[in-house]
Structure 1
Amino acid sequence: MATQIPFTGGSGRFLDRALADAKLTKEAVFTTNVVHCHPPKNRPSIPHEIDNCRPYLGLEIAIVEPTLIIGLGRDARAALEHLQPTAPVLPWPFIRPRKAPTDTHSTRVLFAPHPSWIARQPRGEQVDYVSGLTSALKLGFAQPR
């Protein structure tokens, strides 16, 4: 958390690879955390911390108006299931789109494992993770508004 930028350093390398493979830059995507004040010593978030920060995440989503939200890990899933309950959910591992946005909800949601968990998995799973994120990013930026 020293950089004050979400997903930099160790676990951020998977996102960096996926962005590069999708031919995107970090500046092209909006990245945030569910819990805006990161818990001390990298401990898991406590449910009330997620609840306290959920309104900020909701405002960020309203401002950005994304066509695709990629939620990484349990905290993201917990927050986004409350904020985007009617959004079509894409399956993970992501390969290709299986659901189109509905007339009532143009934002899709994809829940993927947190990069720090992937970092502890075998190399093959790490490669598949980056491939899935790359495909999802390409889809997210291919959707016309």
Structure 2
Amino acid sequence: MGAAPAHRADTAARASATLPDTKEERAARLSLLAEEVRTCQKCPLHEGRTHTVFSRGDPSSEVVFVGEGPGAEEDLQGQPFVGAAGQLLDKMIAAMGYHRDEVYICNIVKCRPPKNRKPEPAEMAACSPYLTAQLALIKPKVIVALGATAVQGLIGTSEGITKLRGTWKLYKGSIPIMPTFHPAYLLRQPSAKREVWSDLKEVMRHLGKSAPDRG
């Protein structure tokens, strides 16, 4: 792989250099960023992709959910969390009182790793400017990090999610992060749903929303 073309090398940085004043301008800048992602060849993941997977949802949302990377269904459709784990995530979002399109959802990496493996550090590093630009434009009040890889990509820690979950972290010194289990883990371990709901209730309390008790 060669170096990125000079005219594209700093697009992600420029996208968020001056924060937009309107929802329309924010959406326009995110659209330009998504277009750059579609042609990205910064790491080997581009070689096996069907589609890049940039985001779904409302770029003006107060909550951003960050996952690990696209799976097979996401690669085919070009949207994050559309498979079985995505359906469970939508139920989690609904339980918080949001419609699935009222939050913003993205991943650490924008292309599917082979066989859904964990993204390698170099792949995460290559993709990180895109996520940084996304979050700078959206300026959410809270980030929900879904799984250990999401937390690692956001703040660099290598601790396991069992230790991390339920404890507030901070993204770039300003945005609270709530780490919790990835929905794919919940499909394998349904008993962990109670812990995730506890984490999501903390998010709701932080946002000043009511958090009804549920199992």
Q: TM-score range by the shorter chain?
A: 0.7 to 0.9
Alignment of 1:1-145 (within 5 A): 1=74, 2-82=76-156, 92-93=165-166, 105-121=173-189, 123-129=190-196, 131-132=197-198, 134-139=200-205, 141-142=207-208
The alpha-carbon deviation at position 65 of structure 1 amounts to 0.3
Residues 136 and 36 of structure 1: CA distance in aligned 2, closer, same or farther (over 3 Å): farther
Q: Which amino acid aligns with 2:111?
A: C
Size of the aligned set, in residue pairs, is 127
Identity among equivalent pairs (%): 28
Aligned equivalents of 1:93 and 1:111: distance in 2?
Answer: 6
What secondary structure, in the 3-state scheme, does the structure 2 residue paired with 1:56 have? helix
The alpha-carbon deviation at position 4 of structure 1 amounts to 1.9
In the alignment, is the contact (CA less than 8 A) between 1:68 and 1:110 conserved in 2?
yes
What is the TM-score with the length of structure 1 in the denominator? 0.73
Once superposed, which parts of structure 1, at least 4 consecutive aligned residues long, lie more than 6 Å away? none
What is the TM-score with the length of structure 2 in the denominator? 0.51
* Structure 1: runs of 5+ lacking an equivalent: 83-90
Q: Which amino acid aligns with 2:129?
A: P
In the alignment, is the contact (CA less than 8 A) between 1:22 and 1:137 conserved in 2?
no
* Structure 2: runs of 5+ lacking an equivalent: 1-73, 157-163, 210-215
User: Residue in 2 aligned with 1:87?
Assistant: none
What secondary structure, in the 3-state scheme, does the structure 2 residue paired with 1:8 have? coil
Q: Which amino acid aligns with 2:193?
A: Q
State the superposition RMSD in angstroms.
2.7
